[in-house]
Amino acid sequence: MELMKLEIVTPDGVVFNDDVKQVTLPGGEGEFGVLAQHASLVSLLCAGVITIETADNKTISVAINSGYVKVSEEETLCIVDGAVALNGDNSDLAKNLEEARKLLSQSKASSMAIASAMGKVEQICKIS
């Protein structure tokens, strides 16, 4: 499967920068998935979870509050306000969950979007 470059940037630095197989993003008008060679696109991102399928078939979830995504054929660039990686390597799950909750509750999105994102976050934490 073809890989593409994914970069997630926040004001505090780069959260993720690697080649991935697929990424699912919480767009302003609904969730959408991006594979390599996707048509160029710019979209708003709202509070939710970015799901990344890495080159070695691992799934990484990153909770975000709001931002933008720019998709071009070679790379996907997410510019977000705040991001918390939920299940990266050797990280403290409980702490991440707490941080993700805080991040989402502070975002300006509608309460429904926040609730659904929260649900997702908790589910991910339960599985992993």
Task: List residues near other proteins by CB under 8 A.
Answer: 7, 9-14, 27-29, 39-44, 68, 70, 72-73, 77, 79, 81
User: Taking the complex as a whole, how short is the minimal distance between the CB of residue 121 and other proteins, in angstroms?
Assistant: 22
Q: Which amino acid is at 120?
A: K
Residue 69 Cβ vs other proteins, minimum distance, rounded to whole Å: 9
- Residue number with CB closer to other proteins (7 or 122): 7
Q: How far is the CB of 123 from other proteins (least distance, A)?
A: 26
The strand ranges marked E within 28-121 are: 30-35, 41-45, 48-54, 59-64, 67-71, 75-80, 83-85
Q: Does residue 124 sit in helix, strand or coil?
A: helix
Nearer to other proteins, 14 or 127 (CB): 14
CB 81 within 8 Å of CB 10:
yes
Signed CA dihedral, 111, 112, 115, 121: sign only:
negative
Q: Which is nearer to other proteins, 40 or 57 (CB)?
A: 40
